[in-house]
Amino acid sequence: MAKEIERKFLLQNNDWQSEADEGLVLKQGYLSTDPDRTVRIRLAGKRGILTVKSKNIGITRNEFEYEIPYSDTLELLKLCAPPLIEKTRYKVHHNHLTWEIDIFSGENEGLAIAEVELTDEHQSITPPAWIGKEVSDDQRYYNSNLVLHPFKHWE
């Protein structure tokens, strides 16, 4: 069983762009958005991925990921509750960590989040200068919640 230990942040500015890779378009939907367990289908380029995640305890949760056939991914996305999450993910390497910057489109247009996966909940990090407020504990920023409450409808 894999553990996901992840911190999420808003972006302070776009200075990360000069350090980022070319980005990868992601489309994902949820077969379950239950807070105790989420089941996600993701299309990452031409790769299909099925992910099951447990409820967070702090910033840690169990995560199970399996590659699935492209054709199955397309069919499973049709079963997901709308809207699908649409975003482009960029990777930036900083201080021996990989930061993933998600720039959302569609119903979540205008939202940008940086995530970093850690090996330990207490791992010390030095965020890049372009990192803003931490939102790791704010469930509004969970992708599974963005399906139910898209960013463009926030006040």
Reply yes or no on whether 90 is catalytic: no
CA atoms of 50 and 88, how far apart (whole Å): 18
| 155 token code pair | 């006040």
Q: How far apart are CA 20 and CA 35, in angstroms?
A: 32
Q: Which of 30, 90, 141, 142 is catalytic?
A: 30
Spatial separation of the C-alpha atoms in residues 89 and 21, rounded to whole Å:
9
**Which residues does 126 contact at the CB level (< 8 Å), separation at least 6?**
95
Neighbours of 62 (CB within 10 A): 15
Catalytic positions, written as ranges = 30
